[in-house]
């Protein structure tokens, strides 16, 4: 165990899929020099983005560590230049019968054991024990928000469900002309002390076609458009730091 302050736990969660959770978690982990804990068992998540194929590994370090429990040895993050440190996911996580309390307790214990200042957790969309545990353990729950009518309705339900947690709402994939009524509706949800709205991340169509594994925020020699996107993710990371105190 280190004797420094425990890492802050930042859980990125949303009720819906495809809203930019993984992209945001990856960039935040890199920008905050944190460890990315991938609790999403779906292929195509942060673990693949990082360049790791968990099905080729003999063990499932994340499951092993969860089974050892909060008193046991934490998983060892994988480290590579220009990418966030990673505790990879595995398809077997979907069938695991690990309960939410255990997940929250393990994350807390790992946060105390790691030297890194942040533990950023990427989650599977919707309610499930791993996501619920990651929310229970979190110092801050980060929710990417797409500014559309249905998405805003879903967000209001989340805000009610997560009322016991500190929330950071991050407008994502925001078009060049942001839809004003949704921006106002989002601002209306902000509550002093408990709910903060981060600066927006724009719609960057090229992000969908990216194959590079370097995080945008740590990419060496970035071009103009990468630099612009990286600045937006860094601004969100700054808001996370402030929100965590």
| Site residues (vs Mg ion, CB under 5 A) | 21-22, 45
Q: How far is the CB of 18 from ligand ATP (least distance, A)?
A: 4
- Local structure of 146: helix, strand or coil: strand
| 37, 106 Cβ separation under 8 angstroms | no
Task: Report the residue from 176, 208, 221, 245 that binds ligand ATP according to the rule CB under 6 A.
Answer: 208
**Number of chain residues interacting with ligand ATP (CB under 6 A):** 20
| 141, 132 Cβ separation under 8 angstroms | no
| 83, 30 Cβ separation under 8 angstroms | yes
11 is an interface residue for ligand ATP by CB under 6 A: no
112/183 with CB nearer ligand ATP: 183
Q: How far is the CB of 29 from Mg ion (least distance, A)?
A: 13
Q: Which residues pair with 146 in a beta bridge?
A: 172
Interaction mask 125-164, ligand ATP, x per CB under 6 A: x---------------------------------------
Ramachandran category for residue 125: left, alpha or beta (phi over 0 → left; psi -120 to 50 → alpha) = beta
Nearest residue to 178 (alpha-carbon basis) of 148, 142, 208, 144: 148
11/109 with CB nearer ligand ATP: 11
Q: d(Cα 58, Cα 171) in Å, to the nearest integer?
A: 39
Residues that bind ligand ATP (CB under 6 A): 14, 17-23, 40, 42, 45, 125, 172-173, 201, 203-205, 207-208
């Amino acid at each position: 165990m280190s004797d420094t302050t425990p890492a802050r736990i930042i859980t990125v969660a949303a009720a819906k899929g495809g809203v930019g959770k993984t992209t945001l978690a990856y960039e935040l982990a890199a920008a905050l020099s944190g460890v990315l804990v991938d609790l999403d068992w779906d292929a195509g998540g942060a673990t693949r983005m990082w360049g790791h194929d968990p099905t080729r590994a003999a063990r499932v370090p994340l499951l092993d560590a969860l089974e050892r429990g909060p008193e046991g040895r934490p998983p060892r993050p994988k480290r590579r230049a220009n990418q966030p440190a990673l505790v990879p996911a595995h398809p077997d996580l979907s069938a695991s019968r690990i309960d939410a309390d255990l997940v929250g307790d393990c994350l807390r214990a790992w946060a105390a054991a790691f030297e890194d200042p942040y533990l950023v957790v990427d989650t599977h969309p919707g309610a499930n024990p791993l996501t619920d545990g990651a929310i229970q353990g979190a110092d801050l729950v980060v929710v990417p928000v797409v500014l559309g009518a249905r998405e805003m309705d879903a967000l209001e339900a989340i805000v009610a469900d997560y009322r016991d947690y500190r929330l950071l709402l991050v407008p994502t994939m925001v078009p060049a002309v942001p839809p004003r009524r949704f921006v106002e509706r989002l601002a209306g949800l902000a509550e002093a002390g408990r709910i903060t709205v981060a600066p927006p991340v724009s719609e960057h169509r090229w992000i969908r076609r990216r194959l590079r594994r370097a995080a945008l925020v740590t990419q060496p020699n970035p071009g103009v458009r990468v630099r612009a996107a990286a600045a937006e993710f860094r601004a969100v990371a700054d808001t996370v730091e402030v929100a965590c105190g």
